[in-house]
Amino acid sequence: MREVQLARLLDGVPQADNFQLAEVARPEPGPGQLLIRTIYLSLDPYLRGAISGRHMGHDPVKLGQVIPGRIVGQVALSKDDRFQAGDYVFTDASWAEWVVQPAAAVEKLDPAFPLSAYLGALGMPGLTAYAGVTELLRPLPGDTLLVSAATGAVGSAVGQLARIAGCRVVGIAGGPEKCAIATGSYGFDACIDYKADGWKAALAAALPGGANHYFDNVGGDMLATALTQLALYGKVALCGLISQYNETVPPPGPNLGIVVAKRAQLFGLVVYDYDRLKSQQVARMGRWLNDGRLKHTEDRAEGLGQAGAHFHKLMAGHNIGKPIVVVGPEKA
């Protein structure tokens, strides 16, 4: 049987000659294992990192090793009671015509649905979209949701889930053909082709009240641009950084991959929104100050004439604690 192996280490955008087709012996299932004939092999952006050992839980693929990948297949031979020959299944295996997997690593599929969709809308990309929309962003009817890589497996599902939830959906995609699919097949209200001149102005025009939600699949400049279009209290789900997966040197700026990996939440904070907490803050923190549980340090200067120099000290980073200029006589 044939499998695809790593022929040359990846450097930048993967090329066809990074991979080689090899004839190998068909594996035999042992007890508790299944022999599966691959029907569909999933290609996903995470594989770029997985092959290079930069994706969660993946060691780098060595030269001559088979490439890992998710498949939909049909059981040819089962040595486990839970499966029988003919079952359609999903498993995270490899780029190979036949795979042997332990039964515990295999999911039986409901053939009532299109089988290949278990690698897309009904699989990992669809779950990514479903979780991002229903658990993280939680858009309300009438909200506007913006999504990048809008015609990809994740982006197309995100936009359509938001549309079904009653949102106005704006996509960003590369090229007129993709945008026609977004607005045609997927029913997005608008799609902006970021490869066209003047796309940033077109994006702003498509979002007159801003985006209440942005689902980011791309990172980098795309994220930077999309952030400028957020509405007040807009929410952002950072899902992927495909614009950076082929880079060999980390791009400047914060590593937002960490936000994704840590499932972190970033919040924009403007203190002026929280006047309602003031009396609670003073009561609680005042008590803690007086009983010593809360400490405060002040960096004091004496006399208004010192204000400029003291401000310099602050902005040069030399203050230790809260800068205060003592201008008048202090309370006895």
| Helix 199-206 / helix 220-227 crossing angle, nearest 10 deg | 40
Whose Cβ is closer to ligand NAP: residue 75's or residue 203's? 203
> What's the rounded Cα separation, in Å, for the pair 4 and 71?
14
Nearest approach in angstroms of CB 141 to ligand NAP is 25
Beta carbon of residue 223, minimum distance to ligand NAP (angstroms, whole number): 11
State which residue, 109 or 179, has the beta carbon closest to ligand NAP: 179
d(CA 293, CA 19): 62
Q: Which helix (H) or strand (E) holds 258?
A: helix 256-261
Of 210 and 220, which has the nearer Cβ to ligand NAP? 220
Between 5 and 148, whose beta carbon lies closer to ligand NAP? 148
Contact 105, 91 (CB under 8 A): yes
**Residues of the shown chain interacting with ligand NAP in the complex, contacts defined by CB under 6 A:** 44-46, 124-125, 128, 149, 151-155, 173-174, 178, 217-218, 239-243, 260
Q: Which is nearer to ligand NAP, 21 or 131 (CB)?
A: 131
Q: How far is the CB of 43 from ligand NAP (least distance, A)?
A: 9
Q: What token pair was written down for 22?
A: 């090899």
- In the complex, minimum distance from the CB of residue 155 to ligand NAP, in angstroms, rounded to a whole number: 5
Question: Between the CA of residue 280 and those of 120, 128, 269, what are the distances in Å?
Answer: 49, 39, 18
Least Cβ distance, residue 41 to ligand NAP (angstroms) = 14
Q: What is the largest CA-CA distance in the chain?
A: 91
Compare residues 83 and 118 and give the one whose CB is closer to ligand NAP.
118
By beta-carbon proximity to ligand NAP, the closer residue of 85 and 224 is 224
For residues 289 and 153, give the distance between their C-alpha atoms in angstroms, rounded to a whole number. 54
Compute CA 320 distance to the chain's CA centroid, rounded to the nearest angstrom. 39
CB of 48 to ligand NAP, least distance (A): 8
Burial class (CB in 10 A: 0-12, 13-18, 19+), 66: middle
Q: How far is the CB of 142 from ligand NAP (least distance, A)?
A: 26
Cα–Cα distances in Å, from 26 out to 1, 40, 68, 88, 96?
A: 6, 18, 16, 19, 10
